[in-house]
Amino acid sequence: MHLIIKRDDLYYLVLPYNLKNQEEESIIKKIKEIFLKYNKKYNLLEPGFYEVLVYNHDIVGTVIVVEKIDSFEFSEEVDLKIIIKNKIKLYLRLLDETDFPNYRNDIDIDSITYKDYLKLVEHSKIIIGTKKVLT
């Protein structure tokens, strides 16, 4: 798992496996298991209502966008609304362009092979859809 925090009420999780071929109910169950596991360990989610967007990408795996919608003041409950989406645009931004002179910055992941992705990802930052760099 790769956690990418953007700000207090919105963050991203990138999972190295793809949930694409699973049934929707199975995906929802798996996402809830992930949050229960990591929330206990890292205390990621405060009590409240969250919208969770799940995107499957053929090369990267599963990208999860978590946004806090509302806080619960008198409850310790975490409520997740999970929405499965089809497409997300992902890019790699090279940390040092001189390491890979054949590639320009902001590489569209859909335009490269899986082998090239594995070679480049260790030397890059992932950029999700909006082209804002996430660390």
Give 10-residue mean pLDDT values along the chain (135 residues): 60 75 84 78 79 85 84 82 84 84 84 89 79 44
Same-domain check for residues 10 and 74: yes
Same-domain check for residues 6 and 60: yes
Same-domain check for residues 55 and 109: no
Same-domain check for residues 46 and 17: yes
Same-domain check for residues 107 and 60: no
Same-domain check for residues 59 and 43: yes
- Domain ranges, residue 129: 90-133
pTM of this structure: 0.74
- What is the token pair recorded at 29? 């169950």
- Report the distance separating Cα 106 and Cα 27, nearest Å: 30
Residue 132: its pLDDT value, please? 45
List the beta strands (DSSP E) in 58-99. Answer: 61-71, 78-85, 90-94
Same-domain check for residues 80 and 117: no
Same-domain check for residues 37 and 59: yes
CA nearest 7: which of 117, 96, 134? 134
Q: Please state the domain count of the chain.
A: 2
